[in-house]
Amino acid sequence: MQKNFLLIVITTLGQLISYNKAFAQEQTTIGMGNYSGVTVTASSGSPMGIRTLQQNGYLPNQSAASRFLSQATFGADSAEIKKVTEQGVEKWLDDQLNLPNTFSLKDYVQSIHQAKVDSLNRSSPGNLTLLTSGSSGWYFDVAWFQGSVTAADLLRWRVAFALSETFVVSRISSFGNNPYALASYYDVLMRNAFGNYRTLIDSVTYHPSMAVYLTYMNNHATNVAGKIFPDENYAREIMQLFSVGLYELNNNGTTKTDASGELIPTYGNDDIADLAKVFTGLSWGDSQYLGDRSEDIWSYTKRLKFFPIDSSDAIKRPWKQNPTIVNGHEYGAKTFLGSTIPARPIEQGEQDIQDALDILSNHPNVAPFISRRLIQRLVTSNPSPEYVNRIATIFNNNGSGVRGDLKAVVKAILLDTDARSCECDEKYFTGMLREPFVRYMNLVRGLDLEATGGVFRNRMNEVYNQTEQRPLNSPSVFNFFLPDYIPDGKLKEAEKYGPEFQLLNSQTLTGYLNALNEWLIDNDPVDYSGYFSGEKNKPAERPGFDLTKYYYLTKDSRLTELIDKFNLVLAHGRLSEKAVSNIKSVVLQMPYVETNGLPRATEANRRVQMVLFLIMASPDYLINR
């Protein structure tokens, strides 16, 4: 038995059985029986033999490539599928991980703002400037869409979106109308997507949008006489949502229990009270004193400034002989999560923040906490503890002694067998319900949406109005859905998670299908917007889907090919025969006209639209597995 094992590599579903994950230092057995320590060798001396059996030698077929892209990007298209099948997953990933971040959302927002100002100045000469002519929150959406559709670093865009759902800042806040506040924050996520967790948590903490969102802008040391205490909001949420979570975790993401089987809270109110003291003394980058207001809309783009001392009284009332000068930052030792930040001279108080971020990011919970969330955003709602453990291990040490290397973590998540191998039919809870916003992007990418002149101007209203999801539009700091959400029905019985189901109800379900109606049937996929009133509307430049290249497949005898084409791009081949047959039977009953042997555009177009609509409405597409 031990010597006779059968090596099977099934290609049709991209299913891998044999591999040796070089980066995670783990062996797995293959074939009949389950014997450990089996070493794979090739009969010839050629290295290609070994590489074929290992992850990095295997070239995926089209479905596997499409599936990979559905995890690593906002969606596959034919060109990218071809690339992945030719290069292989690992090369594609390495290239992507090494691409620089070239799109600045803040700069693009400013260019829209500037374009508006310039145009208005031209049409009725005045002296409008960026300062005197307002901007709108939706510049952020236009910038976001422009970047996501034109930038080459597809993976970075996908990962930044995933990060935006953990390190949540939302326009449902006091700065929702300030596109610079939104864009600048999103740029932080983009810049740090392949960086280090420790740097990310620092940049997030020091960003004014986060300071306003979680109310520690101008947070002040305790005023004992006045019985006023430091705001606890950020202290609580940075622990609960950005680093350690509520309960102690094993490295594989499962919760630890104490002797009586109870969960072990990571922190209590005392930890919160002390950590709250750390986040005191921070104000706007252009503030004169602690407590100062923001200067203008660009205040939201400047790193926070630290004020150890509160001299607001002296600065605001310079005539006073004896102004009240107090500590702005809380003095004294602070203890939380079992560590103590020592008392230090108040002028050095900013070091408290760095110490606190060190304590937080070094907590053993962080690796499983962050790893599990990233896996849930990209690959599956229910990663196995082993999967989480492998990724958390990389988080703890990327192989070169570095902790928190997000590049290594992302690579590990996507190359892991649990992501690459499609055990779709064995485990009944593989995969994830595609987020509504990601479905929209799947369509946009899958159909190669183009714009004349390359400018899309998409306000992304429809997707938000119908499905309640859009970047930086979460209802609260808890994101659109919780990582531990369990919907009713079979998932609840099996005690498996389905975070995205929290957004699913009769309204959003209907809304999604009605949105598909608008995007496809009405061919109105972009909320094309003017930048200012009176701007000349150029309907020819309005982006839409060009489906003409598919017309030739709309005749009855070629419908199956038509469906297969989109099945590959949108659903990486997962549509069942029954689903395909369902779709086909509807389309067959739609009118079809040929003139001179060629399909007439009107009818052909509608057939293609119907195929797309029904694919996007199928559970085989909706659940990505």
Partner 1 sequence: MKRRDFMKQAGCAAMGSTTLLSSLTNLKAFNGVLGKSSISSPNPTDYKALVCVLLAGGLDSYNLLVPTGNNIGGDNGYNDYISVRTDLAIPRDDLLALSNPNEQPLCNGFGGLSCEYGSFGVHPSVTGIRDMFNDGNLAFMSNIGTLVEPIANFTEYNSKKRPLGLYSHADQIMQWQTSVPQSRNALGVGGRFADLLHAANSYEQISMNISLSGKNVFQRGKDFAEYSIGNNINANNVGFESLPSYWSNTGLLTQLRNAAVDSLVSQNYANLLQNTYSATAKQSIGSFEIFKEALKRVPSFNTVFPTTDLGNDLSAISKVIGVRNELGAKRQIFFVTIGGWDMHDNLLDGLNGRLPQVSQALKAFYDSTVELGIADKVTTFTISDFARTITSNGEGSDHAWGGNSMVMGGAVKGGKIYGSYPRMSVDNYDRNVSNRGHYIPALSTDELYAELALWYGVSPYDLCYVLPNLGNFYSYAPNNYPVGFIDFAGTTVSSDNKPQGCTTY
User: What is the Cα–Cα distance from 47 to 26, expressed in whole angstroms?
Assistant: 20
String marking each residue 185-214 x if it binds partner 1 according to CB under 8 A: -----------------------------x
User: What is the Cα–Cα distance from 378 to 420, expressed in whole angstroms?
Assistant: 12
Query: What are the backbone dihedrals phi and psi of residue 187, each rounded to the nearest 5 degrees, phi first?
Result: -60, -35
330 is a contact residue toward partner 1 (CB under 8 A): no
Restricting to residues 572-591, name those near partner 1 by CB under 8 A. 576, 578-579, 582-583, 585-586, 589-591
264 is a contact residue toward partner 1 (CB under 8 A): no
Restricting to residues 457-476, name those near partner 1 by CB under 8 A. 468, 475-476
User: What is the Cα–Cα distance from 404 to 595, expressed in whole angstroms?
Assistant: 62
Indicate the Cα dihedral angle 601, 603, 609, 613, nearest 10°.
Answer: 180
Q: Out of 502, 532, 560, 564, which residue is the one contacting partner 1 (CB under 8 A)?
A: 502
Evaluated on CA atoms 443, 448, 450, 455, the torsion sign reads: positive
Residue 134 or 591: which CB sits closer to partner 1?
591
Restricting to residues 398-437, name those near partner 1 by CB under 8 A. 424-425, 428-433
Restricting to residues 73-102, name those near partner 1 by CB under 8 A. none
Rg of the chain over all Cα atoms, to the nearest angstrom: 27
52 is a contact residue toward partner 1 (CB under 8 A): no
End-to-end Cα distance, the chain: 33
| Shortest distance in whole angstroms from residue 84 CB to partner 1 | 25
Restricting to residues 140-159, name those near partner 1 by CB under 8 A. none
Are the beta carbons of 173 and 217 closer than 8 angstroms? no
| Shortest distance in whole angstroms from residue 143 CB to partner 1 | 26
46 is a contact residue toward partner 1 (CB under 8 A): no
Q: Out of 191, 403, 407, 496, which residue is the one contacting partner 1 (CB under 8 A)?
A: 496
Q: Out of 24, 57, 509, 531, which residue is the one contacting partner 1 (CB under 8 A)?
A: 509
Query: What are the backbone dihedrals phi and psi of residue 598, each rounded to the nearest 5 degrees, phi first?
Result: -110, 145
Cα separations in angstroms, 426 against 31, 283, 422, 487: 16, 54, 9, 21
Paired sense of beta strands 339-341 and 432-433, if any: unpaired
**Stretch touching partner 1 by CB under 8 A, among 43-51, 190-198, 482-490, 542-550:** 482-490
User: Residue for token digits 């006091």?
Assistant: 174
| Shortest distance in whole angstroms from residue 330 CB to partner 1 | 12
257 is a contact residue toward partner 1 (CB under 8 A): no
Are the beta carbons of 351 and 368 closer than 8 angstroms? no
Query: What are the backbone dihedrals phi and psi of residue 68, each rounded to the nearest 5 degrees, phi first?
Result: -60, -45
Residue 44 or 426: which CB sits closer to partner 1?
426
Two structure tokens written together for 212: 């306003």
String marking each residue 360-399 x if it binds partner 1 according to CB under 8 A: ---------------------x------------------
Residue 110 or 467: which CB sits closer to partner 1?
467
Residue 27 or 507: which CB sits closer to partner 1?
507
Restricting to residues 521-580, name those near partner 1 by CB under 8 A. 521-522, 576, 578-579
Query: What are the backbone dihedrals phi and psi of residue 373, each rounded to the nearest 5 degrees, phi first?
Result: -65, -40
**Stretch touching partner 1 by CB under 8 A, among 149-157, 193-201, 314-322, 496-504:** 496-504
Angle at 7 between CA 5 and CA 9, to 5 degrees: 160
